[in-house]
Amino acid sequence: MAAALDPSGSGVPNHRRRRLDVRVVPHRRRSPLRLRDWRLRVKLGAVLIIPSVAFLVVATVQTGTLLGQANVLGEFSQEVTIGRQITALVHELQAERDRTAGELAAVARSGGVADPGQIQAALRSTYNAANVATTQLQEAAQPLADVDASWRVSYSRVQDALRQLPDVRAAVPGGVLSVNTVLGSYNRAIDALLTLLAEPSPGDDQPELTNRVLRYVQIARVKEISSRIRGTLYSAARAGRYDLDDGVELTDLRAQQLTALGDFRVAATTPQIQLYQQAAADPAFQNAIKMEEETIAVGASTPQVLSADEWWRVSQHRQDLLRQVEAAVLGDAAQAAEERSSDQLRETLLVAGGVLGVLVIGLATSIIIGRSLNSSLRLLRAQALQVAQIDLPEALERLRTVESGVPQIEVPPAMVRSMDEIGEVAEAFVAVHRSAVTVAVEQAVMRRNVNAMFVNLARRSQLLVERQLELLDDLEREESDPDQLDNLFKLDHLAARMRRNDDSLLVLAGTESTRRWNRPVPLSAVMLAAVAEVEQYQRVRHESADQLYIVGHAVADLVHLLAELLENAATFSPPETVVRISGRAEAPGAGLIEIVDDGLGMSQNAIDEANALLAEPPAADVAASERMGLFVVSHLAARQHVQVRLRALDHGVLASILLPPALLAAPPSQAELEQTAPNRRVLAGLPAGAPGEPRAGSGMPNGLPGLDEQPIAGRPPGRNTTRRPSRNVPTRAEDVLAPAAGGSVAGSTWWSRQGKGSAGAPAAAGAVAAPGGGAAAPAAGATAPPAPAGPPTRVAGTAPVTVRVNANGLPVRVPMAQLPSANEPAPQAVPVQRQEPDPEAVGGMLSKFYGGVRRAEAEETTEITMAPAGAGKEEEQQ
């Protein structure tokens, strides 16, 4: 079946293009709240992201903990390291306090008379050393402004105590402050510094570092008690006597010293104890101990007052030895804190780096695997959609519209090359695709065979119908009884309807009609030819408002289409109503034919279903046999790109047939009309130049009566037994169209019947045509003159008249150039001697004829060469 192709070059008919645009849609609505409705990309992303985020959160917490520990240890290391400046300041303040106590005791011994300058000179060195140590501590404490709050509070107390020392120093020479007040200020400053020294804390999970802090704090306490003992004994030496409270204080200080020393020995490591023992074994250290023992009262003896200078020298040396032990213990703690902080920072960085590396490797691996899965699934999805939406529909379309041999359809291999489950699914899908194509090919072969059987049977039936029509023509020519002639006309019409059914079978089988016209045909003649194919032709009223011409190759299909619609309109409407068919021009450059009936009508659902079927021709199936007319109209409309739509009216149905500009031809020129007019008059049974030119408003060429002049259904034909009435208009479609077209009817027996004087024979006056398969009998009371002789025939042996040679090298003949004019006397018919043919020879000729017909039908293509415009005769070539 011929169909226009898409201009884009895809090779798919326009009216079937939308079949390829069908998209695979889910059977239910997708919900983002249902996990099973998520897109594959989202699911893979969730599988990758959720564990990665969980791992990242845990790793971040762990890394944060390690970083926190590293920060704590770093701050601890800084706080321990600043202990060097703290102990140095404590050492200088202890010396300043003890010297100040001695100077104040000397002032008290002299009765309160002392030289301030002498006191300032004695204490200036200690003041300078303390000031330097204070400055060093403040500089070292600046980077620790963001450490823990406890240390900052302790350091603020130290600063407060240190800010009071300048006032205390200024009051010492004048004796403004008491000894207890001055010494109390120094004691508060030293106690604040020792408290700040004990502030570093590495946390509960670092007991070793905590013990190291405790060790140097304990040795600092031992040194502080030793300094106070030194200060008390130095003050008594400068005063030359002991006060009442000195004995009690010395006893308490010695007890505290022993306790602190015992705690240090318990907490200190063996190397640290050995270091202290080495310091204690020093002769100066031993001398200091001996001098302290001399100050202890034994029995009733009084304590001995020591020499101030000697005691200060010996005790200062002991303090220096204790300072060395203190610095060593503090150095060990600072080094351990720094090493642990560095180890913790290194461990944190390693853990963070390892976490980051594992995360990167995990993400990279997950992404690679996810991309692989996603790529395979996307390829599988693309292949599935390609097969479902393009490959398989196009293959089915090719197999559905194939006219010759079944094409070889290759099924591409699977796009997924993996050997996993996805690859197996892809291979299974390819197998399903191959099976579907195989089944479609088998169905196409079966459908082609069935179509071939339909075509063969339809064409055989056509041959039989043509022979039946020829036989009916002979019987009608020889019959003079009006009743018998009326029955013959009915049989003639039934045979014409049978031929239209055969044409419908050819349409459903996808084969084009064998009847073709090469010249444009008036729309009025096409409409009249369609009326001639309808059983109840008497009820049809036609009107053609504009002189439109239809291209020759579409005439047969358009006549068939209009006949099916007219038949349907007449069948489903009351017999007393009429069916109207009208044609007019429709801008821009199109034509519109409307068929209106006053029948039962159709529901809106039925109208919609019929319009959907007309818009897209379905494949031939069992429903085609039940509603053959609608199926045939759909296929004919799609073949010629005609739009057919039904619309319900108040009473009846309106069928609109929109003819595209491609089916409309330009009107023939006046010269062509004058050239073909004699031929049309001869073919219509009128002498050339005789009256009977087309009448205005009749709608019939060559003066044929219009439909309004036809007999009404149910009226009995007139009786005249004198002679057989003859038809004065063609009774079949090709009899109407051939004279109007001025050319031949390809593939029909119209020319053979002309030679026998059937359709298209000269009409007798008073006869009325019967479009639709038979001529009506003459009206009541009409007399029919003797039937004239048959149409002029060619003289045997006369060479045909040609005008030129066509593109294929064949002579172009002038149509009916050798037919004598109707005005000329007909040649005397010479009786031909009939000879009985040999049955075997006739059988051989028929076998050869049908063999040639079958070979012609088996050919893949059929080419019709159109004669050039203006040629005298049109020929049809296969």
Domain presence at residue 472? no
pLDDT of residue 708: 38
Domain presence at residue 277? yes
Cβ 570 vs Cβ 737: under 8 Å = no
Nearest to 678 by CA among 670, 669, 689: 689
Domain presence at residue 596? no
Q: Does pLDDT of 346 surpass 50?
A: yes
Q: Does pLDDT of 753 surpass 50?
A: no
Q: Give tens-digit pLDDT for 465-500.
A: 888 888 888 888 888 888 888 888 888 878 888 888
Cβ 568 vs Cβ 742: under 8 Å = no
Give whole-number Cα distances, 794 to 103, 739, 747, 818, in Å: 169, 18, 21, 6
What is the mean predicted confidence (pLDDT) over 56-76?
84
Domain presence at residue 514? no
- Band of pLDDT at residue 298, cut at 50, 70 and 90: low
pLDDT of residue 109: 78
**Highest-scoring range by mean pLDDT, 10-24, 93-107, 845-859:** 93-107
**Lowest-pLDDT range of 6-20, 514-528, 579-593:** 6-20
Q: What's the chain's average pLDDT?
A: 74
Nearest to 151 by CA among 96, 77, 220, 211: 77
**Highest-scoring range by mean pLDDT, 420-424, 632-636, 760-764, 861-865:** 632-636
pLDDT of residue 673: 63
Cβ 744 vs Cβ 738: under 8 Å = yes
CA torsion, ordered 736, 739, 745, 750, to nearest 10 deg: 70
Place of tokens 């009817």: 745
Crossing angle of helices 392-401/421-478, nearest 10°?
20
Q: Report long-range pairs for 678-684 (Cβ below 8 Å, ≥24 apart).
A: 678/821, 679/739, 679/742, 679/815, 679/816, 680/739, 680/740, 680/742, 681/822, 682/791, 682/792, 682/816, 682/819, 682/821, 682/822, 683/738, 683/739, 683/754, 683/760, 684/739, 684/760, 684/763
Q: Does pLDDT of 70 surpass 50?
A: yes
Distance CA 517, CA 627 (A): 29
Decide: helix, strand or coil at residue 293: helix
Distance CA 684, CA 384 (A): 64
Q: Give tens-digit pLDDT for 224-239.
A: 999 999 999 999 888 8
The residue that leads in pLDDT, 783 or 258, is 258
Cβ 696 vs Cβ 628: under 8 Å = no
Residue 619 phi/psi, 5-degree rounding, is: -75, 155
Kindly state the tokens that stand for 659: 């003819």
**Lowest-pLDDT range of 89-103, 158-172, 801-815:** 801-815
Q: Give tens-digit pLDDT for 325-339.
A: 999 999 999 998 888
pLDDT of residue 404: 66
pLDDT of residue 701: 36
Distance CA 602, CA 610 (A): 10
**Lowest-pLDDT range of 70-74, 543-547, 804-808:** 804-808
Q: Give tens-digit pLDDT for 701-714.
A: 333 333 333 333 33
Q: For residue 259, which amino acid is it?
A: T
Residue 436 phi/psi, 5-degree rounding, is: -65, -40
**Residue 305 CB contacts under 8 Å (≥ 6 apart), including other chains:** 236, 237, 240, 241, 242, 295
pLDDT of residue 871: 37
pLDDT of residue 179: 83
Q: Does the N-terminal peptide bond of residue 588 adopt cis geometry, omega within 30 degrees of 0? A: yes
Crossing angle of helices 83-109/207-239, nearest 10°?
20
Residue 197 phi/psi, 5-degree rounding, is: -65, -30
pLDDT of residue 848: 65
pTM above 0.85, yes or no: no
Give whole-number Cα distances, 792 to 93, 254, 687, 744, in Å: 156, 166, 11, 17
CB atoms within 10 A of CB 178: 11
Cβ 518 vs Cβ 743: under 8 Å = yes
Decide: helix, strand or coil at residue 709: helix
The number of residues making up the chain comes to 878
pLDDT of residue 317: 93
The residue that leads in pLDDT, 27 or 97, is 97
**Residue 280 CB contacts under 8 Å (≥ 6 apart), including other chains:** 286, 321
pLDDT of residue 823: 41
User: Beta strand pairing status for 653-659 and 643-648?
Assistant: antiparallel
Q: Does pLDDT of 827 surpass 80?
A: no
pLDDT of residue 53: 84
Half-sphere exposure of 64 (CA within 13 A, CB side): 6
What is the mean predicted confidence (pLDDT) over 1-18?
40
Cβ 253 vs Cβ 232: under 8 Å = yes
Kindly state the tokens that stand for 540: 């049809």
Cβ 716 vs Cβ 538: under 8 Å = no
Residue 173 phi/psi, 5-degree rounding, is: -65, -30
Domain region containing 144 = 64-355
Q: Does pLDDT of 549 surpass 80?
A: yes
pLDDT of residue 190: 93
Q: For residue 69, which amino acid is it?
A: Q
The residue that leads in pLDDT, 825 or 287, is 287
CA 2 from centroid of its chain's CA atoms: 35
CB atoms within 10 A of CB 10: 12
Q: Does pLDDT of 873 surpass 60?
A: no
Q: Does pLDDT of 74 surpass 80?
A: yes
**Residue 718 CB contacts under 8 Å (≥ 6 apart), including other chains:** 482, 777, 778, 779, 780, 781, 782
Domain presence at residue 365? no
Cβ 447 vs Cβ 474: under 8 Å = no
The residue that leads in pLDDT, 45 or 233, is 233
Q: Does pLDDT of 247 surpass 70?
A: yes
Decide: helix, strand or coil at residue 799: coil
Q: Which residues are registered as beta bridge partners of 540?
A: 579
Nearest to 425 by CA among 472, 373, 468: 373
**Residue 100 CB contacts under 8 Å (≥ 6 apart), including other chains:** 123, 126, 172, 182, 183, 186
Domain presence at residue 630? no
Q: For residue 506, which amino acid is it?
A: L
Domain presence at residue 123? yes
pLDDT of residue 371: 81
pLDDT of residue 710: 36
Distance CA 94, CA 513 (A): 131
Distance CA 589, CA 662 (A): 9
What is the mean predicted confidence (pLDDT) over 661-687?
61
Kindly state the tokens that stand for 865: 């060469």
Distance CA 750, CA 466 (A): 9
Decide: helix, strand or coil at residue 580: strand
Degrees to nearest 5, angle at CA 624 with 458 and 18:
115
Q: Does pLDDT of 565 surpass 60?
A: yes
Q: Is 123 left (phi over 0), alpha (psi -120 to 50) or beta?
A: alpha
Determine the longest span between alpha carbons in the chain, in angstroms.
195
Distance CA 419, CA 398 (A): 33
Q: For residue 298, which amino acid is it?
A: V
Distance CA 510, CA 503 (A): 11
CB atoms within 10 A of CB 97: 24
pLDDT of residue 730: 43
Distance CA 617, CA 122 (A): 127
Distance CA 336, CA 47 (A): 46
Give whole-number Cα distances, 778 to 216, 513, 608, 702, 781, in Å: 147, 34, 45, 20, 8
| Tally of structural domains, the chain | 1
**Lowest-pLDDT range of 292-296, 338-342, 434-438, 870-874:** 870-874
pLDDT of residue 445: 82
Domain presence at residue 767? no
pLDDT of residue 655: 94
805's enclosing H/E stretch is strand 802-805
Q: Give the strands of the sheet with 590-596, arranged side by side.
A: 540-544, 579-586, 590-596, 653-659, 643-648
Cβ 389 vs Cβ 24: under 8 Å = yes
Distance CA 262, CA 239 (A): 32
